[in-house]
């Protein structure tokens, strides 16, 4: 069965530190990959997505992610975090040519200290 | 930017009662979804809906659950006889029909079963 694993459950960083959140998935076929963010009290918002093409994708608010097919990974990065990046981050995968259902990782809570 | 709206934001119900959670997807979207997130756990897929029928459902989505799009704008999730373990955050999502499109999520309904 498809699954998504996020390695870090809770990350604490100081402002200006660099961020990398790990995400691995298990599925041998073609997938679409997503990172969603949930700020406190708000809904899930799309940070970035990968469907095809350049494996390095750029999203909103300075985030980027790299799809490494051989490693089944889609890690999220940001060179310099801000206090406003404090949120929960979810990696999600859907199979291409499917109903589009998303399989989510368990989420990573990021706390940025000012 | 168009949004997915969900009502109510918080629903408290006695065990065994029926509950209906409501969603208004983005108007030109064709695919609709319900997900849930039990406190402290990952977001889980419940059901997808396309062309006025269920296209996929998870093991969670048993006979106690049903979905409906009664009037071309609302998309509802009904739980016939609620159980304590149905307490969770329920998210509605929708996406457009043209090629690869990401899902857009509502703010969620927090369902508390007493």
**Mind spelling out the 3-state secondary structure of B49-107?**
EECCEEEEECCCCCCCEEEECCCCCCEEEEECCCCHHHCEEEEEEEECCCCCCCCEECC
Q: What is the mean pLDDT of residues A5-14?
A: 94
Q: pLDDT category, B60, cuts 50, 70, 90?
A: very high
How far away is chain A from the Cα of B43, in angstroms, using its nearest Cα?
Answer: 6
Q: Which among A48, A114, A38 has a CA at the least distance from the CA of A81? A: A114
DSSP-derived secondary structure letter, A28: S
Determine the distance in angstroms separating the CA of B54 from the nearest CA of chain A, rounded to an integer: 10
Query: Strands (DSSP E) along chain A, which ranges?
Result: 3-6, 10-14, 19-21, 23-26, 31-38, 45-50, 56-58, 64-68, 73-78, 87-95, 103-104, 108-113
Kindly list the residues from chain B whose CB atom is less than 8 angstroms away from the CB atom of residue A34.
Answer: 102
Query: A41-96 pLDDT, tens per residue?
Result: 888 999 999 999 999 999 999 999 999 999 999 999 999 999 999 999 999 999 87
Q: Which residues of B touch A103 (CB under 8 A)?
A: 45
Cα–Cα dist B22/B83, whole Å: 19
Q: Which of B26, B43, B95 to mutate to test the interface with A (most CBs of A within 10 A)?
A: B43
A61 alpha-carbon distance from chain centroid? 13
B90-to-A48, B22, B87 alpha-carbon distances in Å = 23, 10, 9
Predicted confidence at residue B99, as pLDDT, reads: 65
């Amino acid at each position: 069965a498809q699954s998504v694993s996020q390695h870090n459950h809770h990350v604490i960083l100081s402002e200006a530190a660099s961020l990398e959140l790990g995400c691995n998935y298990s599925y041998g076929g073609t997938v679409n990959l997503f990172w969603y963010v949930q700020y406190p009290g708000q809904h899930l918002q799309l940070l970035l997505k990968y469907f095809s093409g350049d494996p390095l994708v750029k999203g909103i608010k300075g985030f980027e992610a790299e799809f490494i097919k051989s490693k089944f990974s889609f890690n999220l990065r940001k060179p310099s975090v801000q206090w406003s990046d404090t949120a929960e981050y979810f990696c999600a995968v859907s199979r291409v040519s499917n109903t589009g259902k998303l399989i989510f990782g368990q989420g990573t809570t990021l706390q940025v200290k000012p | 930017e168009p949004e997915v709206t969900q009502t109510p934001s918080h629903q408290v119900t006695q065990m065994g009662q029926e509950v209906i959670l409501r969603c208004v997807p983005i108007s030109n979207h064709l695919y609709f979804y319900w997900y849930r997130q039990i406190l402290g756990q990952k977001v889980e897929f419940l059901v997808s809906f396309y062309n006025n029928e269920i296209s996929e459902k998870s093991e969670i989505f048993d006979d106690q659950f049903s979905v409906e799009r009664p009037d071309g704008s609302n998309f509802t999730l009904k739980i016939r006889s609620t159980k304590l373990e149905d307490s969770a955050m329920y998210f509605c999502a929708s996406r457009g029909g043209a090629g690869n499109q990401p899902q857009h999520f509502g703010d969620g309904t927090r369902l508390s079963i007493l």
